[in-house]
Amino acid sequence: MQDVAENTWDPFARGCPSRDVLTKIGDRWTVLVINALAQGPLRYSELHHRVDGISQKMLSQTLKGLTHDGLVARQVYPEIPPRVEYELTAAGLSLLEPLQMLVNWAIAHMDDIVAARKRAEK
């Protein structure tokens, strides 16, 4: 395993674990879930409602992966019925700015992309 202090992670090298991280961060559901949690903790049902079109299975998988990677924290409250909330960790919060820039870029360039796709289909 590589030492973070050595700064030897190279996503261009086959087998580098950073490729897996980039794949996960680049996933549309990850981008949307991270951005949905930007305003603070949300319950599963609130996230499901906010991220329109995500299936329950995909939301569960995304949250599990983000929690596993330390980007999202899962807090269970001992109530009846149990209440579970998800919120961004410090690492997750550090992703907000670059992911929001990506979202803003996509919105700003959608007209050009749609036009290019139409030209390509002809």
Strands 72-77 vs 42-43: parallel, antiparallel or unpaired: unpaired
User: According to the model, what pLDDT value does residue 2 have?
Assistant: 46
CATH ID of 17-121, from 1.10.10.10, 3.40.50.300, 3.30.70.141, 3.40.50.2000: 1.10.10.10
- Tell me the C-alpha distance between 36 and 48, whole Å: 10
User: According to the model, what pLDDT value does residue 91 have?
Assistant: 96
3-state secondary structure labels for all residues of the chain:
CCCHHHCCCCCCCCCCCHHHHHHHHCCHHHHHHHHHHHHCCEEHHHHHHHCCCCCHHHHHHHHHHHHHCCCEEEEEECCCCCEEEEEECHHHHHHHHHHHHHHHHHHHHHHHHHHHHHHHHC
- Tell me the C-alpha distance between 42 and 31, whole Å: 16
Phi and psi (nearest 5°) for 97?
-60, -50
pTM: 0.84
21: how many CB neighbours lie within 10 A of its CB? 14
* Domain map (residue ranges) of the chain: 17-121
> One digit per residue, pLDDT tens: the chain, 122 residues?
444 445 688 999 998 998 888 999 989 999 999 999 999 999 999 999 999 999 999 999 999 999 999 999 999 998 888 899 999 999 999 999 999 999 999 999 999 999 999 999 98
**Cβ–Cβ under 8 Å, residues 74 and 84:** yes
